[in-house]
Chains A and B, each alone.
Chain A
Amino acid sequence: MTGVSATPAFRVERATPASRATAIGGVLLFVAMASLPAWGPAGTMKLLVEFLTLLALAQMWNLLAGYGGLVSIGQQAFVGLGAYAVLISVDRLVLHPVLALAVVAVAALLVASLTSIFAFRLSGGYFAIGTWVIAEVFRIFVANTRELGAGTGVTIQTLVAMPAPERQALVYWLALALGFGSVAAAALIMRSRLGLALRALRDSEPAALSLGVNVFRAKRAIYLVASVGAALAGAVIYLQLLRIQPNAAFGVDWTVKMIFIALIGGLGRIEGPIIGAVVFFVLQQALADYGSLYLVLIGAVAVGITLLAPRGLWGLFTARFPVALFGVQRRLAVAGPGEGPPRARGVVSE
């Protein structure tokens, strides 16, 4: 190279070796796990359904709070909505469960568009309680609707009538698609224009605003996505549980779990909820016998992590070993003079 070239050779890269490995490993894991109904015991599948649906719930809450800065304590509104929407689709409209999930998604999208009108009048802590009130309204409404079983609840009869192995495999595959799908969806959203806006928002809202990011629209979009995700998770959860009661389906416990998982793993990182879900699931299995003391511990850990390690376990890990499992961050790869292949240069910290 003799002169200074007018246009430097560069390109924008997002994938890293680690992210390529994650993608390949993820596909292999998905295929391996998909074969489980052929050889695995039913108990394992049941546990995995629980784990995968929790992962999806937390991943969706992380989109909302970790990236959008919207702390909702009312996502149980959509868990319950998913439960009752799948009941109506499967039992009353006689749809196949897979088709029923499409109905759930559309219903959740419509309802979330409506609730966002109210919730987005509030911000910060008031947004948190406002979403909670909306969930309470849903609960009271369903608990007083005799067609939906009122306060005592209903059972999804069509699924009860299905042969157990067939039902178990179906629910497991749905949960598998949901769990992996939620991670893939989060990664895809973060690679998109919306994701760029959200990550700018996460780092500094005033700065994002001054750069021309339409903050309101980005937040509303992520609220819709997270609500549809929570509704789909609620539908799959209750396809497994079969019995739906309004106090449980619209219970704030769902959101407590989402918050804890996202917090402990690391807010605002796709890896966070995955780590958090594993930790939470192990803790839950190990400490379930301690009842309310276990929840005291959960609360204390949440407070401690928020104050001492706001980036969660994944944040602690990447502080020592910088690695990004999901190639969402744009980096500039510039070919400098006298150099061979373009060298990747980090631009901003992911």
Chain B
Amino acid sequence: MEWVNALVQGILLGGLYALLATGLSLVFGVMRVVNLAQGDLTILAAFMALAIADASGANPLLSLLVVVPVLMLLGYVLQRGILNRAIAGGVLPPILVTFGIAVILQNALLEIFSADSQGLDAGPIEGQSLRLTDQLAVGWFPLATLLVAVLILVGLQLFIGRTQLGRAFRATSDDADAARLVGINDRHVYALAMALALGTIAVAGVFLGIRTTFGPLDGPVRLIFAFEAVVIGGLGSLWGTLAGGVILGVAQALGNQVNPAYQLLAGHLVFLAILAFRPRGLFPSASIRQQA
């Protein structure tokens, strides 16, 4: 029963990881760029929610109303101001620039909030759970996280597949030059994609902050989890990202069941095994763009 419990908790944890990974997957899908500041932006969102909750006394879930638009705006500005220029420079600049931004964010947060671990208090929902059997209970909040992750992924899928702007995303992803020829402003499209990605990152950050403690230096770990979920699921595939998140969560939960010290190691090993035997991921179906 302990193992079944670990499995269930792992699936729920996977919801959080899928949420963390969505932004990475979206950005890579549209502009073939890896945002190395992703983890630190997640932590930034959590700290923003903390500052808002502390100042207003409101539930951190309400802070989403502020954090999501602010991060989306930040995403747009960041892409238009800095990252578009980096992308134009070739393969190396986007990696180096986003890594530089990661270093800046980490240390700025450290300077402002000190190295202490923080947590967001969302009230009674955090402790309540749905009791399935005597030994098996499902927390409402982790369940809600998984549902939100699924909703966001479904929403993105519909948006990219059905709307005019979504078509512009796909066109730019397939061939930016050709998209420009038919009148698409690719710099604007990239900036919108980054804004959307940072919107999902904002949600991920607030949910992360409610679920666990966080500190200014936790960004890289979150980036690595998000990245592992994306690679396990298959590059550029949004549904793969959900599956990858769940597989990573289950691997960590089962590893934790063996020995708490092996929680992270188990996730890393599953990731390396996928790289060795299924380098294109488990579900390499391309939703945004056909894999080259």
Contacts and interface: CB of A to CB of B under 8 A. Distances in A.
A80 to B, nearest CB: 15
Interface stretch (A122-130, A237-245, A319-327, A338-346): A122-130
A129 B92 contact: no
B146 to A, nearest CB: 24
- Size band of the interface chain A makes with B: 35 or more
A234 interface: no
Nearest to B92: A71
A300 B101 CA distance: 7
Interface in A226-261: 252, 256, 259
Nearest to B279: A121
A122 to B, nearest CB: 7
A299 B36 CA distance: 13
B96 A259 contact: yes
Interface stretch (A15-23, A134-142, A160-168): A134-142
A141 B268 CA distance: 11
B91 interface: yes
Given A129-B34, A256-B103, A144 B227 contact: no
Interface stretch (B54-62, B104-112, B161-169): B104-112
Contact of A71 (B33, B95, B103, B271): B95
Contacts of A263: 96
B224 interface: yes
A259 B85 CA distance: 20
Contact of B272 (A118, A124, A293, A296): A118
Contact of B93 (A121, A299, A307): A307
- The binding surface of chain B is classed by DSSP as helix
Nearest to A296: B107
Q: Which 6 A-B pairs have the closest CB atoms?
A: A125-B34, A299-B103, A299-B104, A303-B100, A302-B100, A292-B107
24 contacts: A124-B95, A126-B34, A129-B34, A129-B36, A129-B224, A130-B231, A133-B224, A136-B264, A140-B264, A140-B265, A259-B96, A267-B92, A292-B110, A293-B107, A293-B111, A295-B106, A296-B103, A296-B107, A299-B100, A300-B100, A302-B96, A306-B100, A307-B86, A307-B97
Given A296-B104, A299-B101, 15 more contacts: A71-B95, A73-B99, A121-B276, A129-B223, A133-B271, A133-B272, A144-B265, A252-B220, A292-B110, A296-B107, A299-B102, A302-B100, A303-B97, A303-B104, A306-B100
Interface of A: 65, 69, 71, 73, 117-118, 121-122, 124-126, 128-130, 132-134, 136-137, 140-141, 143-144, 252, 256, 259, 263, 267, 291-293, 295-296, 298-300, 302-303, 306-307, 310
Interface of B: 28, 32-36, 82, 85-86, 89, 91-104, 106-108, 110-111, 220, 223-224, 227-228, 231, 235, 261-262, 264-265, 268-269, 271-272, 275-276, 279
